[in-house]
Every structure is written in structure tokens, then in C-alpha cells.
Structure 1
Amino acid sequence: VTPNKPLLMEEIEVAPPQANEVRIKIVATGVCHTDLYHLFEGMHKDGFPTVLGHEGAGIIESVGPGVTEFQPGDKVIPLFIAQCGECRFCKNPKSNNCTEGWAALRPDVMSLEDTRFTCKGKKVYQFMGTSTFSEYTVMNQNAVAKIDPAAPLDRVCLLGCGISTGYGAAVNTAAVEPGSTCAVFGLGAVGLAAVMGCKNAGAKKIFAIDINPDKFEKAKVFGATDFVNPRDHDKPISQVLIELTNGGVDFSIECTGNVEVMRSALECCVQGWGVSVIVGWTNMNDFSAKPIQLIGGRTWKGSLFGGFKSKDGVPQLVKDYLVKKVKLDEFVTHKMNLDKVNDAIELMKHGKCIRTIVSVSPQ
């Protein structure tokens, strides 16, 4: 793929796994807005050519020397955040960062220099270390989660990014409390997962905010109690929410990647203890706020992958799905084969889907 152009279907060579690596046969993948961000907005020239995709699930095909955790046939989810278990971040329960992988070493480029992909003899980068729009991918075992063999891969692939990110932003980063009032800005898959997290954490009132009123019925499925369309009001959305909640919400979660929305999400929180969490991925613009918004007692936080330590958190989320604690099926609006991946990108670009599942290889 090259920036700002449709994806091309090419035959690529996927090298055997080296030490501490596994080769994964990708069965299914979701299409996430971060793929679009890299393709149409971020577009760092050193990140191309690349194979996109980072929300996949598959089966271990082969393992390299030194791999003891996995064996061929294991069902797995590739992870765009590693969990090496040894670095400062991995050893601290307060963070899910890790010093291994692209996120620590080449965050702007969103891929590592080292890759197991080539096409016609030329290097092809592995986007976010995963590249799930490929029949096979090779990854370090630090960034792979072994999951319950009963899990349907064409559903749990969504836990590789979007659903975990939104859900964890509510239950982990915001730490939503029972009986609280919440606001979720942006009702794509991440925002809907945040609504689900607020509901599972016991929030009594959940305001779902989006400029597309068609999203509200879907948001109700995940637990939203009220819908607010900023375009229906002639005052700032933060002011509208403050008036509806006797001073502001206890928790707000921003899932748009729009810096103006981030500010609105902060300002709609109640002074004194309100917590606002930034989830939407962007590196394009600065965000701003007046210091008094924080001096009065509000907290502004960021959340990466929902605060889940990846290798620990994802297998547990798969179990939660299998016992119906976490919804996944309800996010899926479209299904198609890999050769139609550009159609999936167009659907997401124009807000016509929640999640499209792309079948990559038969199980």
C-alpha cells in the first residue's frame, strides 16, 4: 500500500519465524480507524510500503527457536502492544506500555525497521507490528496472546484493538463507579465499547454523544440511556450536558480523535471529581484547555488499548465474551473476503459500518 491510495492485492513472501518469533495464519480481521489514519492522515513516508491491519485473530502455523509458550495449532490474537514482562512498564501495574516493539521505537512510522515481509525482493513493513491484512504474519512471542480454543476467531479478532480499547477506557482508565453518570463522545466501535464498559461498571446514566442520530439505537443495545446530538443545540455540548446533569457528568470518554471534542469532554465533567479520558487516536493537532478546568479538581487522562496489559488482558476478555459478559457479535455490521478490503475501508471512511469482519483464510 502507498499513502492516500486504495490497497493493492499482491503476493508477498513471509519469511519463517526467527528466534522467539511465531508465524500466524490469519483467519479473520476487523478494519479499524487507525488503519485509515495511517493511510489517509498520518501518512509518514517511512512507514510505506506496508501491509495494514491490526485487529486480527489466527492460528499458529510454526514457531522459531526459543518459543515455548506457543505451538502449531494454538488459537491466538496478534497484539499491537507487546508485553515483554521484563521492562520498567511491564513490571509496574499502573501501565500497559512496553519498551519492546514499534510503539516504543518508531511510533510515528507505526512499524519497525525489521520485517519478515518482502514483495518482489523489496522490504514491506509490518504495520503496528501485526499486518493482519495478510494470510500470514510473523511476530515476536511478546506480542501474541494465546486464547481459549473455543473462541470464534471471526468475532474475538475485534479484541485486538477497538473493543478492548473502548471497554477498558471505561472499566480500567476511568474506573467508572456504580451509580455514576457518564458521557461517551463518538459512537463508532470504540465509543460503543466504552458505553458497554460504563454499563458493566454500573453507571446509572450514560449519555451517548454523536452528530449521527442513526447511532443511538445501536448505543442503546450497549447500555446508553440518553442520546445528545450537538447539532440539535445552539450552545456548546459541554454546557448542554452540565445543565442535564446538575453540574456535569462524573466520567466522560472521548472516542473521536478530534481535539475540540477532547476539550468538550473535559469541560462537561463535574468540577471537583470529574474524570475525562482521551481515547481517540491522533497525532495531528495539539489540544488545549483553560487551566481552571483542572485546578477545580477535574482529572484529564489518556488511555492506550484500554489500559489492558496485552498478553494478560486479551485472553481474559475472550473468556468474558464466551460467558456473555462482553458483547462482540453486536458490533459486526458487514462481512467480506480479503479481496474486498477496499470496500470495507470505504464503509468505515463514510461511517456506514460499525465493524466489518474480513475473512482472510479458512480455518
Structure 2
Amino acid sequence: MRAVAHRPTPPPAWQPRTDPAPLLPDAEPHRLLGTDAMAGADPELLLSLYDRLVLGRRFNTQATALTKQGRLAVYPSSTGQEACQVAAALALERRDWLFPSYRDTLAAVTRGMDPVRVLTLLRGDWHTGYDPYEHRVAPLSTPLATQLPHAVGLAHAARLKGDDVVALALVGDGGTSEGDFHEALNFAAVWRAPVVFLVQNNGFAISVPLAKQTAAPSLAHKAVGYGMPGRLVDGNDAPAVHQVVSEALARARSGGGPTLIEAVTYRIEAHTNADDATRYREEPEVELWRRHDPILLLERELTGRGLLDEDRRRSAADAAEAMAAELRERMNADPVLDPMDLFAHVYAEKTGQLREQSELLRAELTAEGETR
């Protein structure tokens, strides 16, 4: 049998289009608190982060209480991971867009939105209780990761139009197991869209720990497969999150393309008020993370630098309590709702199916009114 001459492979289309080494995240999460790098930190930014974290913690506890009082149908608390949302939202410019998940109510509030309007979806009144264009905050997304392709689409369109806009898309570790996550990152990298993906890795997708979702060294490592940088940051270190997100936003704005950031944090509370977290995790694990609380970490830094005294602590706490009191009062008032509004903001022009459904509901409401 005659031997077949070896033929070299065709031009190496399989090879990486970019050098993967610069895309790899650091071996350990990036930190600032307690390091020498804090010497050059902006005191005003640090105090603003502190005030927002204190307000955010009170927002979480108040919203959780409202679920127990029947004023909210459900609430996914972000207690313990407030630094991810506060620091990321503060890094945005007013012209930028935020694409939140259902747990990112605090990011929307930090963006300047009315807390009652932010909670409208979770109250069950409207699909979205606010005008997304007013604050450039997309609707809270309850389906996992569906907001990510939307963020890429907006960012890509902005770039095509020449608008100086960056989209920041927030997602949890559970969302990285969805196909939308893959599609969004792939499109973003190919198009070099000005979008930043921030994964809040809080340890669990409801009851599923991260180790049962992925075998990757970290979620940030997934960035390399798409051709974008991956960054790993301590999600409870507010200044570090702000720095990493700000750098990624600047990179995207200058035409450098997308970045995937993994913020390592922890979900102190249950997945929602309907979840029993004691069935899948032990209290000693939770207690360890309580000691790594983002507010305590920042308080320690600010106190050590002489930036935080009792008056400033009291001022932040009083402002947070005033917010909570107003939120309670307004949420205790029953809203006046028109069921026909269900069809008002679905399409610019109603489809035939929507018209049929709306007329059916109108007839049922009329009949119900006549029988009372």
C-alpha cells in the first residue's frame, strides 16, 4: 500500500484572532480596601459610596419587611452584595444605560430612580413601573440573562449612530448558565460593542452552588473564549468595584470593546422571601461572609483614615431611615389601577390578538360591574 504524502493543514483559521494572555483575569480578585493603593483614593467618592451602601442596606431590609406585610409579592434581596450595585451604578455617566436583573433594584435606585417605581414590578402592579428613557434604566428583567442581548443591541446601535454611550449589563452567576449569556458575549465581542457585563457571583443560583454550574477556573475566565478581557474583583470592596467598572466603561467608550467582570460576593439573605436557604447551606458559611460585609469593610477604611466619625455615621443612618419611612408610607397606599392598561404599552399599534384580548377583558369588566 502506497503511503500518502503528508500535507500541511490549511492556513490556521483555528488559531486565536487575538493573543489570549492579556485577556486572562488575575489569579485573585482585585482589592483596594486595606492596601497601599487606597492612599490616592478620592475621599468624596469613598464617602458617597458609604452613604449609598447604608441607604441600600436599609432599602433591602425595608423591602423585605414589605413582603411580610403583603405589600410586595416577592423581593429578591441584595443584602451583602450592595457594593456591586452601588459602585457600578455610580461609575456610569448620565448618558449611559443600565440593564438590570430582578435583583438589581438597588442599582436602579442608585441611578436616581424613585424607589416606589422601582418596586412596582415586584408589587405586581405593572410590568415596569417607570419610563426607561427617563433615567436610562431598562426594565428589570425577571427571565434570566435576557437583558444581556438587549444591552448589546443598544450599545451596538449607539456605536453605529456615533453616540457616546456605554451599556452596563448586570447578571447573576446563575444567568451565566443561560444561552442568552453566550449569545450576548459572542455578539458583543464580534461587533466590539461598547458594553460591560458585570456578573455578581453571589454563590448560588437559587439552591445550586457555582461548582455545579461550571468547571471554569472563574466566571471571568469565560471572557477569553469570546475574545474580550476578563476581570475578577472583590464584590464587597466598593472602591475596587468602582475602579474596575470605571476602567471597563472607559475602555468600551474609547472603542476597545466589551469586558466581562466577575464580582465575587455572597447572598446573605435567601434567594427571595419564598426560598428557604437553610435547606442547601449552613449558617457558619453565612457567618463567615457577614464578617466580610461591604459596609463594615468600608467603615473600617474610612475610620482609619479619619474620614468617618459618629456624626457622619448618624447622618447616613438618618437619611436611610427617612427613605425607608417614605417608602413604607407610599407603599401602604393602595394604587388605583386600570386593568385595561395591560394592553397600553405592548406595541405601538395593537395586534389583532391584543385587540381581541382587550375587548374580551373589557366585556368581562363591564359584566362584573353590572352584577355588583
**Same fold? TM cut 0.5:** no
What TM-score, normalized by structure 1, do the two folds share? 0.34
Asked which structure has the greater CA Rg, the reply is: 2
TM-score (norm 2): 0.33
- Considering Cα pairs closer than 8 Å and 6+ residues apart, tell me whether 1 or 2 has the greater RCO: 2
